[in-house]
Structure 1
């Protein structure tokens, strides 16, 4: 009896100890995130508050299934500005995914961030980080994207010890020196283009395409041009003597005066031509600048953009990238780039376009309706979207979360409903008690998603 009581007491003690440790760990993660948010300026979209649950209500935060630790931070394009302080995000020792891309983060990258023990995917592209890349990496690192920043120095030699590395993107930085011998056993994606790298490309990396190395003028070897073995030029023979100086006849005073007058005329003419050329160039530059501002042409960092998804968004215009318009009340934390990168599955095709199931980088699933047969101006389209947002308050209409408009592409973003489509509703899988109002809005038919709530 005493042994049984002792066993029960021990079990309860261990259980209480585990619960206490889980709560303490989550509180530690929350404090680290609050310290990061207080030190790094950001947009109001980041509604992190200690008064609301971290695992269910904080934008961009994902916890494990037990709700005891933070395992992912996904904050692309939320207006983060300035350096990342050490001992903030670096305290999240259960973090597996970190995505802070397309912000305005700058300064050195804290070493404790790359060395988080559980971290396997890091996306920091399109920021303003500078300095050397830290040489301490998590041994689980498989995805590392530091492209489109201003990192300098050498590619850390420690990167060749990453046995799980499958994707490495360091393009469009200021990295110099030779390329280290990377572990290529699982490496499937590599981009080191547009840096200051030099030397020959390691033999194990020559299987990657030219685009992985272009823009490094001092780099050679397949798949780039072959390395040239330069031979020193022969030194001049010691027996050879320089030619004797030529004796010129001293000009008379009259010829000296004529020569000086010719020099003066030449200098005046050359100076006038140079001044005229400079004036013309200034006028041309001013005209081009004014024309560029009036046309509203925006260029991304480095002048290049990533290729959009072939499934949908092929008509997305460069000047309107990340112009995804969200409706009030939506706490979504993705942008247009996330949407175009998502893996897409066709759910159905209708008279007005095709609907896709899109799974975003952090696992969130949305439904994207691509309108191909709707020809409407931007102003009228935006007016229709406002009407749809008001109609979507009906309990049997799927709320519209966001939309994108360009001349050639129009996208509508809804919550993904795994319970079925409007087609299944009409064919008896669900009751349709209140969708009869749709014929009253014929112009809204391409934009509305109606569903039933009572399952038979």
Structure 2
């Protein structure tokens, strides 16, 4: 009976092969029609006799054309119907940076398998029809930099998988629709002709997504008549200025219940804002009171000591930094401890008494203690770190700190002095006026802030790499142990990057305090004892830091995608999906002429964050690679005056496995 079925099986196989061949022939015909319409004499490998799978920019899967990428290929004219729409197995289409014009072809909007569509920087016009809702599998859509007009269609809400929607720099008009896109995490409609309020579904997006338009609410300043102001970089209103529930809300797009007499409630964002404002105000009052009490106490102590010098030895005044922390005992009575300076830096400028009298501002609480900005009465400004969890004896502490103080490199934050007592251990550093890289990347970036372009970010990467490489060069056992963006500080400019907290991991290594949370997202997978970190583990952390610079995403972010993977794994999954440029921060992508260098730095970051230590480069090799990448971008900038519209990158959109589009 089995042999009786063989002719049927053979015939079935022949039919399947014939169907596959017919489908590929249809794909070839569609591509040749496209070439005849918009490519003219371009694309010489697109010939009737060749397999379409060998065409420039074409990738096949399962005997069908699955990917078509022709970025910056000189395509000109309108896309005719019956071309792209016939590529029914197409998953990725990139025709960005060409001169395509006319409307979106209707048949293009019905491709069943299309996941990524990149048409930015063309001359496409007309409206985006509701028929776009037929692209049910679409994940990434970029129509930026065209001439689209009309309203933004609510048909986008019918795309359940959509995660990227870039519509900026077009001529869309009217109000923003309330898009129901639960997976949307990248969105931009800046520089259109939109007006009205940001709908509730889009209020989680940053203010940079709505620039250059008459739009209000959400991350932007509140609309006139709104009950609750939207979060914005401007100071929060005082609780007393908010209207009571049930007040008029003429500018809102959501509203309360169906009955007009139903009271309207403050949004959760407004309640959170009011709570934070109250907490901050209360904290400032308490801090002012504590500082006042400390000052008076210091004056009384000094006066009392002057009256009875023999009966009462003066205690060192409680430092303002200690008062701000709220629980620091003063140095013990009769203590003769002094600040120990390194070299000549700071000697004669100030002493311990000056430091204890200084006004202070909390800069942040970190892994090894709390950092303060201390402004001395003479005007000198220093950064003071009040260490915690350090159980070393004085001799061992001094030996380790003196090794740190001996480090001298332009990309390290200089250690000026230290203080040791049983109850207090202070480190005094040169003050870095521009704060940390973490604050620069993830803080409130208002419209007046300078752009974090490629030049700045690559300079920060190089400075931090040089500082860490210097630490590694001081000995085989020398490592930093806590590389993260909050430990990269900026000096006199955004390009002056310095590594801080170097050597502090060794001071705290005998402590049993938990370090797993110290470098959340930065810690190498092989590190089981967080107090013992190797140079290769530092390289891993630096790789994550590079990814943070390139993506703008914080590694400690709880969930970067639906799988909840960490930053290195997320970037690698994106690269495998062939849309590598989707990982780059939108602000960084404005530098279109350095895409190749961006991809090279991305690859270096992935190499540094390799799972196995032996696969990671040394920091000296990392420095050399970043120097080469920056030199390449500087040569390009010098050659074309900083603008090179014709220079395109095959490493993003070509046939390489790490390709992609933005």
Q: What TM-score do you get using the length of structure 2 for normalisation?
A: 0.38
1:339 to 571, 574, 596: 596
Q: Structure 2 matches for 1:94-243, cutoff 5 A?
A: 94-137=89-132, 138-217=135-214, 219-229=215-225
Q: Which runs of 5+ in 2 are unaligned?
A: 227-247, 249-450, 463-580, 582-591, 608-616, 652-662
Distance of 1:188 and 1:70 partners within structure 2: 29
Tell me if structure 2 keeps the 8 A contact 1:36–1:85.
yes
Cα 1:341–1:351 change in 2 (3 A) is: closer
- Please, which moves more after superposition, 102-111 or 42-51? 42-51
Q: In 2 relative to 1, CA 176–405 (structure 1 residues): closer, same or farther, beyond 3 Å?
A: closer
The structure-2 alpha-carbon separation of the partners of 1:149 and 1:414, relative to structure 1 and needing over 3 Å to count, comes to closer
Gaps of 5+ in 1: 232-304, 316-333, 357-367, 379-403, 416-456
Contact 2:159 2:181 in 1 (8 A): no
Alpha-carbon deviation of 1:371?
6.6
2-structure distance, mates of 1:374, 1:86? 40
What is the CA deviation profile of residues 334-358 of structure 1, one whole-angstrom value per residue up to 9, with x for unaligned ones? Answer: 99565255372226577897448xx
Q: 1:314 to 1:30 in 2, by over 3 A?
A: farther
State how 1:43-442 maps to structure 2 within 5 Å: 44-55=42-53, 57-64=54-61, 66=62, 68-137=63-132, 138-217=135-214, 219-229=215-225, 308=454, 310=457, 338-340=595-597, 342=599, 344-346=602-604, 354-355=624-625, 370=629, 372=631, 406=638
Secondary structure of 1:40's aligned partner: helix
Show the counterpart of 1:423. none
RMSD over equivalenced CA pairs, Å: 3.7
Map of 1:34 onto structure 2 = 32
Contact 1:110 1:134 in 2 (8 A): no
Aligned mates of 2:633, 2:166 — CA distance in 1: 39
- How far off is 1:312 after superposition? 9.6
Cα pair distance change 1:307/1:127, threshold 3 Å: farther
Distance 1:373 1:145, change over 3 A: closer
Is the 8 Å Cα contact of residues 353 and 373 (structure 1) preserved in structure 2?
A: no
From the two aligned structures, give the one with the greater helix fraction. Answer: 2
Structure 1 residues 114 and 24: alpha-carbon distance in aligned structure 2, compared to 1, 3 A threshold:
same
| 1:190-236 deviations in Å (ceiling 9; x for gaps) | 1011111122111121111111011112x2212122221499xxxxx
Within 2, Cα distance between the matches of 1:51 and 1:180? 48
C-alpha deviations, 1:156-199, integer Å up to 9, x for none? 11111211010000001000111111123111001011111122
Give 3-state SS (helix, strand or coil) of 2:7's partner.
helix
User: Deviation at 1:47?
Assistant: 2.8
SS at match of 2:603: strand
Contact 1:93 1:116 in 2 (8 A): yes
Aligned residue pair count: 278
- Once the 2 structures are TM-superposed, how far is the Cα of residue 116 of structure 1 from its aligned partner? 0.8
Contact 1:125–1:145 (8 Å) recurs in 2: yes
* Contact 2:81 2:107 (8 Å CA) reproduced: yes
